Structure 1
């Protein structure tokens, strides 16, 4: 990562100089959103990245912004009453193509632990930020606990949910089989699990592989949330709070396996419910479809769970492995069953015509768990494709998760096969580092699709994996820069995680948050992020002529830019947990 900051004077030298007219005035309480930075802060020793946005007419949602009186900045204490350092702003960069702004991007060498602000003459003070060792611990726990707030079929009690407590919704007992399921008789009990997104439906594809992403964190760093750290109903049971919460979703996924081993695709109403509380959303729910994609994603997550849960509950781990084997067998007998919404169903489709990455995920996890030749043969016959493309999170990223597990279990994977995979992962990670260094706001993607924030974080997972096996400072800095973007170093100056940061989404597309009468949304939910396709523009007011990174609106109807989703929060959980362990 290149450092664009000019040499700065340390505090003692600065204090020895006579003050100038441009020195900071006392902090008045007003903050300039032209100064964009990580609103939580930075790790000790890590550079403080910030940008001073210069006015560009493309972004007409803001009044013309003043330019700095001189290209300097001050690092001050949080109250503004003491100057810690002074330096020159970076040279002006034109980021209008993607970000709709010209900026002075600057990297400041790390100050000591404490709380600070940036002051720029003629512009003002920034939001406060910290330099701390456990910088992301609260946000990490909030991101994990957001899954608790998404629990179906369960009352959220005030002792655990605080002011966001609510009655149970959706018992999900005795549900009808939709004709697309292939079943014409009987009913299914499928309680529990997590609501998928801002709606109240449950999907196997988008439940299984996000679960796998978070189980990967356990395998890479150990228990990231020990017993009694999350304040969930299971806290105090003597077992990991993290695995307690992961088991909620795994339990539900097990209910979606048919007697023949295949997985039903989703459990939903026929149409999306209105913006009401869970217990008020009472439309009939159906077991819809069956697909190879859902079955293989389940096989991968269940096989991974069989490893992770061995010490937590050996019997449960064996149950997961047996279910994964049955799913694998069904997929082999039904290798190309795609899912398309029936005519009378309009909820999330999560359809895909290519099962390649799902086969990789399932085979890799089953092989790493069992060591059996059948699964290695499947992988060697169709070697994993190591690649990263933004916008493919729920169609292709599960293939990369299979690769991560193959690297993780070097005791089982043939050396030559593993080394080839690692070389490819390093190649992709190196290309992402180059993109971070060149991109607007120093994040790793140039294409902004639905859920773009998850694309940023999935890219960070690639770099974290490379760092796990071939450590390099550039990887660590690129991951940190990606997280800086999520928490406020972006052209919107928004920390995209509800409840964490100074300027966060307040009108998230999330039914409980919209209907509970509480001004603040449920905390720990990651907004999808900028999406220039603006599929919801008939309901949402975007800035006129907004560039891709500006195509976001903190408006409740904006499902295309401001919704939440399991597969967006999952990579955030991984990356924040990984950073806390590898800072």
Structure 2
């Protein structure tokens, strides 16, 4: 009888695992997830799409962007499920894509996806380069009126809402968006220099100019640009972006001026988060590389700060300040929580890489932390996203058996131009928004906002907090997936 019960229980568990996309043994197919995480960016493209655009339900859009200011601001990415272009999150996305490739873009990791990752990066860097160089003394930081845009539900290809242009300058400063843009341009230059040195040099020169502007004219961009709030307010101020931007310029140029600036900043805020708004932790991990890998002990203060951050994250740390869902997921905020999970997990994998290269360990009070400790925890976060969670749902669209079907995304939820060539007006699109039908177009690779603090999740298009994808959710995940694909391959 006991044997029969065991067999029945085993069959039941196997049935649950199969039907909920949770592997009974082994690992998720990280190589497949990596390819899809990069493919997602094709669905977010703005501008004139190239002939090799494989996400074919998308078409050209925003072809007159910038015209209201007599400049060319076509291209770039829509940041999430709407049709506005905000440079603050776009630049962070760009930096994190570049960092993902720099750390984990080796051929044994990204394999056949390296060229696609570079293409995704260049689509963003092309736009940021235009935004930084078209008008002397100005950095363009946004296109589109978010209030008008959010009042409509229409395809980017049908956009007929106002497309005003926003910028920062010496009289309307924005050190945060400028510092992040400088970081994005410098990081992109490091990635793309092996393909095109002339282009990379242009990126680096622009990065220097934008960083000089950020350093010289101090101020939050959300005090200068009315569209920033409540969408992408600079809640953490601009000191973190000054630190972040200078750290990337120092990495790209080796110029001691940036290090002197970093040391003069006094940017010592304690943090347990990393996101498009708050870059302190990322800058410290980047700078800690100099002491862990390059053995430059003068960078030790940044190592101590990076490790303080990690001790606030790791679940076995006595000094952790981070909450977890019952299923073990990092939980920071109720809106789009997975953005914090992917960003923090990238830092965990990157710092573990630096630690492993030097055999370094550290302690969170009396608990010894090894690189293997960090990597195991980071892997669990990624695995949760890919379906190893209490609900057995993959939060990446198109990955696994069960994933959200009603993504909060205009282009995905409305019929494509090829299937419905006629214009769909501002209000006409809401019939699709409120429909109970799955999205007609699969936004492959998109990672949505994710579950709530209790691991609960409901597939409802109206719930943007949990169903909206974003470029800054995917960009850092690319690096973690590349690491895991290199180590475990296809599972």
TM-score (norm 2): 0.79
- Alpha carbons of structure 1 residues 278 and 338: separation in structure 2 relative to 1, 3 Å: closer
- Alpha carbons of structure 1 residues 403 and 24: separation in structure 2 relative to 1, 3 Å: same
Q: Which residue of 2 aligns with 1:462?
A: 347
Deviation per residue, 1:326-374 (Å, 9 max, x gap):
1122122211143248668988344346111100111101111111121
* Contact 1:453 1:528 survives alignment (8 Å): yes
- Alpha carbons of structure 1 residues 263 and 409: separation in structure 2 relative to 1, 3 Å: farther
* Contact 1:199 1:510 survives alignment (8 Å): yes
Q: 1:255 aligns with which of 127, 130, 154?
A: 130
TM superposition shift of 1:415 = 2.0
Q: Which residue of 1 aligns with 2:286?
A: 405
Q: Which residue of 2 aligns with 1:509?
A: 408
Partners of 2:276 and 2:249 lie apart in 1 by 20
- Alpha carbons of structure 1 residues 266 and 160: separation in structure 2 relative to 1, 3 Å: closer
Partners of 2:315 and 2:80 lie apart in 1 by 33
Deviation per residue, 1:358-416 (Å, 9 max, x gap):
001111011111111210101112355485434x51221x3333223323455997822
Task: Give the structure with the higher percent strand.
Answer: 1
- Alpha carbons of structure 1 residues 353 and 452: separation in structure 2 relative to 1, 3 Å: closer
Q: Which residue of 2 aligns with 1:150?
A: 44
1:334-349 residue pairs with structure 2 within 5 A? 334-340=217-223, 348-349=231-232
Q: 2:165 aligns with which of 280, 287, 294?
A: 287
Q: Does residue 395 of the first structure (1) align with residue 277 of the second (2)? A: yes
Q: Does residue 561 of the first structure (1) align with residue 466 of the second (2)? A: yes
3-state SS of the aligned residue for 1:263?
strand
Partners of 1:125 and 1:210 lie apart in 2 by 34
TM superposition shift of 1:511 = 0.5
3-state SS of the aligned residue for 2:143?
strand
* Contact 1:439 1:445 survives alignment (8 Å): yes
Deviation per residue, 1:21-80 (Å, 9 max, x gap):
31445xxxxxxxxxxxxxxxxxxxxxxxxxxxxxxxxxxxxxxxxxxxxxxx53x6xxx8
3-state SS of the aligned residue for 1:282?
coil
3-state SS of the aligned residue for 1:20?
helix
TM superposition shift of 1:240 = 2.5
* Contact 1:552 1:561 survives alignment (8 Å): yes
Partners of 2:137 and 2:43 lie apart in 1 by 30
- Alpha carbons of structure 1 residues 409 and 260: separation in structure 2 relative to 1, 3 Å: farther
3-state SS of the aligned residue for 2:202?
helix
Q: Does residue 212 of the first structure (1) align with residue 95 of the second (2)? A: yes
Aligned Cα root-mean-square deviation (Å): 3.3
TM superposition shift of 1:124 = 10
3-state SS of the aligned residue for 2:454?
helix
Range with bigger deviation, 317-326 or 124-133:
124-133
1:294-373 residue pairs with structure 2 within 5 A? 294-340=177-223, 348-352=231-235, 354-373=237-256
* Contact 1:197 1:510 survives alignment (8 Å): yes
Deviation per residue, 1:267-320 (Å, 9 max, x gap):
113521522222111223111242221111111111122222211110011101
* Contact 2:222 2:229 survives alignment (8 Å): no
Q: Does residue 118 of the first structure (1) align with residue 14 of the second (2)? A: yes
Partners of 2:327 and 2:301 lie apart in 1 by 29
1:220-259 residue pairs with structure 2 within 5 A? 220-223=103-106, 229=112, 240-257=115-132, 259=135
For structure 2, the 5+ residue unaligned runs are 169-173, 357-370, 417-438
Q: Which has the higher contact order (CA 8 A, sep 6+)?
A: 2
- Alpha carbons of structure 1 residues 530 and 289: separation in structure 2 relative to 1, 3 Å: farther
* Contact 2:34 2:478 survives alignment (8 Å): yes
3-state SS of the aligned residue for 1:147?
helix
Task: Give the structure with the higher percent helix.
Answer: 2
Q: Does residue 452 of the first structure (1) align with residue 337 of the second (2)? A: yes
Deviation per residue, 1:530-578 (Å, 9 max, x gap):
35xxxxxxxxxxxxxxxx3356432112222211111111122121112
Q: Which residue of 2 aligns with 1:264?
A: 140
* Contact 1:361 1:399 survives alignment (8 Å): yes
Partners of 1:330 and 1:351 lie apart in 2 by 17
Q: Which residue of 1 aligns with 2:485?
A: 580
Partners of 1:473 and 1:504 lie apart in 2 by 30
3-state SS of the aligned residue for 1:153?
coil
* Contact 1:174 1:188 survives alignment (8 Å): yes
* Contact 2:334 2:465 survives alignment (8 Å): no
- Alpha carbons of structure 1 residues 350 and 573: separation in structure 2 relative to 1, 3 Å: farther
Partners of 2:260 and 2:295 lie apart in 1 by 12
1:47-196 residue pairs with structure 2 within 5 A? 74=10, 118=14, 127=21, 129=23, 131=25, 135-155=29-49, 160-161=53-54, 164-177=56-69, 187-196=70-79
- Alpha carbons of structure 1 residues 167 and 447: separation in structure 2 relative to 1, 3 Å: closer
Q: Which residue of 2 aligns with 1:482?
A: 381
Partners of 1:449 and 1:401 lie apart in 2 by 22
* Contact 2:77 2:85 survives alignment (8 Å): yes
3-state SS of the aligned residue for 1:242?
helix
